[in-house]
A and B are shown apart, each in its own frame.
Chain A
Amino acid sequence: MAGIERRGEGGHGPEGGHGGRGAFAGHPAAAARFVADDARAHWHDQALWWVRQKRDKASADVPEWERLRELAQAIKGHTLSRLADYLAEFERNATAAGARVHWARDAAEHNAVVHAILAERGVTRLVKSKSMLTEECGLNPYLEARGIEVVDTDLGERIVQLREEPPSHIVFPAIHLKRQDIGVTFHEKLGTAEGASDPKYLTEAARGHLRQRFLGAQAGMTGVNFAVADTGAFVVCTNEGNADMGTSLPPIHIACMGLEKIVPRVEDLGVFLRLLARSATGQPVTTYSTHFLGPRRDGELHVVIVDNGRSGLLRSQALRRSLACIRCGACMNTCPVFRRTGGYSYGVAVPGPIGSILAPARDPRAHATLPFASSLCGSCSDVCPVRIDIHSELLVLRGQVVEAGGLPAGKRLAMRLAGWIFRSPGRYALAGRLARWALRALPRRVLYSKANAWGRQRELPAPPGETFRDWYRRTTGRA
């Protein structure tokens, strides 16, 4: 089981098809590699900042924006407090409408359930619309190893799939690529003209290529954006209509959802659908928001509900709010670190601020650098449409990483030493005097040795002649 989980996560890390990017050694090293290509890092930053600005404009068009966020937070909070009841209600109603509901404890069970459905029906060609859950579970390699062709039909996802890369962003899977990069990939894989990078031309080529896959598919798979307990229906949001194409042509539809995707009532969609697209891309609504209730005539509908660590998160009072995430990606677009370091620098399926909660919450040691891959600026918490206090949860997780022994020994020692110094005004004054003396007296090559990460690109502060407390004592005669 752990092996399969590792496979899912590892697709972005040690084992994974990362085009020879080398082993994942934590966020700082991967971030430094991304930042080293200054022009590309700035291009990536600008591309996502543009999305953030679109989100700002779209949200400004809704006078009750903050009220919507509060409502969304309240609905999610309520739902999570009665999650088992709502899941059971959804199962009842979905089943009554003719769907088959399956439960999966973890990634391994999820993959096995999906494979069994396909294998029993002799399916070897599957089309799939975007689902971060299947990325999390490592479904594609699992099915491919068992002789099933899986075609991701979202344009961005198809691009990265052709390159044998994971998505680098949950909403814009190929945001790390320039159109010239895509031109090269399409030339190699789809036979487009060499050197062609016109977006319209490339999109036409992808469209023609995907159309054949849609027509030949025996089953279609989708994710789930919202599952409605009181009707048993679920909603899938796309901009390309690929989920609709993939579920209209083949007779079998498998929808996979994390167990946190439930909303109690169909009316609640009036809150979440208004928030989702505006937060994700700055559109008022996604082009397609398709409601599925029961199978199509002569077809089958399977819904796989997956835990994979979510119930553990639900048990944590400090972290459970992160389960309210609707996967809009706004925290990634606003994050000054994500924008400059790219999704791969996190080494997990869901990267960025929210991903830096979800992965370490499951295993703080394995993802020890992620809660620290943030300046804790708090922009993520303020853009989050469901008001998850993301940066505060990251701080909580830093504590868990330290408790799990995940902080490097040198840093742990430095903090112990600093704590000991600060507990005594005498030690504090002495340490301060020593530090200021060192700044003045030591030769530059010593001060700016390799060990000084501060000084690689920054000057150290010029030490003043006296501290504030010295000045205060001298001028007021007090203390």
Chain B
Amino acid sequence: MPTVGLFVPCFVDQLQPRVGVATLRLLQRHGVKVEFPPEQTCCGQPMANSGCRAEAAPLAERFLRIFSRYDHVVAPSGSCVSMVRHHYDGFLAGRDGFDRLKANTFELCEYLHDVVGVREAGARFPRVVGLHRACHGLRELRLGSGSERRVPPFDKVKTLLDSVEGIRVVEPARPDECCGFGGTFAVNEEAVSCMMGKDKLADLAQAGAEVVTSADGSCLMHLEGLARRAGSKLEFMHVAEVLLGER
């Protein structure tokens, strides 16, 4: 029985702890043994995405040191997992245990779908849920086929959501347009970031969503911030919370 090292991204730990709790409970429900190594902090993505490679490098080192003792590493964020899998090469290539770490670090839905083999969520959530496909999960981890490529369609996140009892999953008309969060982009390019987010919210509302969900909480933080300011009644839940179902 493999042991999963739970990687809770810094903003989830600090601002969305309920997402971490739901992730832990969801993994446990599907029979996974999970540990949370408390010395973890941040994967270094904010620095790496800002081009500050010197600041990201020691965080990549820490990550390798902390998580290489686990069989698998799972995180409720496609973006942070993509950092490890696709962007740590520049810092850690050739290091002991790095190839193994890279191959065994998974986004939550990907882990449930591909490794645990979950096809029935075993949960009930009788709401209309609008799916926001977060970009790095979609286009870097290939959690779904995406609208650009001409490959047979698939979507691991939606497959899991569709198995939830009572749920109705709706999609925006632009099925995988970026919401405009983009890390530091959200403040560097505040004007266009917010326009993208408002457009995404309008598209989701048009689709009839009551609850917006995503495999990346950072997109939700941005969208929820815009919705709250506008006085919208939309609710925002991470996909881990939806897959856990009604409490």
- Asked if A458 and B226 sit within 8 Å, CB to CB, the answer is yes
Q: How far is the CA of A408 from the CA of B48 in the complex (A)?
A: 16
User: Of A425, A436, A473, which is in contact with the most chain B CB atoms at under 10 Å from its CB?
Assistant: A425
**What would be 14 A-B contacts, judged by CB atoms less than 8 Å apart?**
A340-B192, A340-B195, A374-B185, A378-B136, A378-B139, A395-B51, A407-B51, A407-B52, A421-B41, A425-B39, A432-B13, A454-B190, A472-B20, A472-B24
Segment at the interface with B among A3-11, A58-66, A73-81, A151-159: A58-66
Which residues of A (1-41) have their CB < 8 Å from a CB of B? 27-28, 31-32, 35-36, 38, 41
- Asked if B139 and A382 sit within 8 Å, CB to CB, the answer is yes
Is B208 among interface residues, defined by CB-CB distance under 8 A?
A: no
Q: How far is the CA of A456 from the CA of B186 in the complex (A)?
A: 11
- Asked if A375 and B180 sit within 8 Å, CB to CB, the answer is yes
**CB-CB contacts of A412-445 with B at 8 A, as 1s and 0s?**
1001101101111100100010011000000000
- Asked if B38 and A425 sit within 8 Å, CB to CB, the answer is yes
**Residues in chain B near residue A425, CB distance under 8 A:** 38-41
Residue of B nearest to A338 (CB): B192
**Residues in chain B near residue A397, CB distance under 8 A:** 51
With A395-B87, A453-B187: A377-B50 Cβ-Cβ less than 8 Å: no
Is B194 among interface residues, defined by CB-CB distance under 8 A?
A: yes
Which residues of B (165-202) have their CB < 8 Å from a CB of A? 174, 176-178, 180-197, 199
Give 19 new A-B contacts, CB below 8 A, not counting A418-B46, A466-B17.
Answer: A28-B188, A59-B150, A62-B150, A340-B195, A372-B184, A372-B185, A375-B135, A376-B185, A411-B184, A415-B47, A418-B42, A419-B55, A432-B14, A436-B14, A436-B15, A456-B190, A458-B228, A464-B17, A472-B38
- Asked if B50 and A415 sit within 8 Å, CB to CB, the answer is yes
Chain A contact patch, size range: 35 or more
**CB-CB contacts of B40-76 with A at 8 A, as 1s and 0s?**
1110101111111111101100100000000000000
- Asked if A471 and B21 sit within 8 Å, CB to CB, the answer is yes
Is A298 among interface residues, defined by CB-CB distance under 8 A?
A: no
**What DSSP secondary structure best describes chain B's contact surface?**
helix
A: residues with CB less than 8 A from B are 27-28, 31-32, 35-36, 38, 41-42, 45, 49, 56, 59-60, 62-63, 65-66, 334, 336-337, 340-341, 371-379, 381-383, 392, 395, 397-403, 407, 411-412, 415-416, 418-419, 421-425, 428, 432, 435-436, 453-454, 456-461, 463-464, 466-473, 478-479
Q: How far is the CB of A241 from chain B (nearest CB, A)?
A: 31
**Residues in chain A near residue B176, CB distance under 8 A:** 379
- Asked if B13 and A336 sit within 8 Å, CB to CB, the answer is no
**Residues in chain A near residue B32, CB distance under 8 A:** none
**Residues in chain A near residue B42, CB distance under 8 A:** 418, 422, 428
Is B110 among interface residues, defined by CB-CB distance under 8 A?
A: no
**Residues in chain A near residue B226, CB distance under 8 A:** 457-458
- Specify which of A423, A424, A435, A479 is in contact with B36 (CB 8 Å cutoff): A479
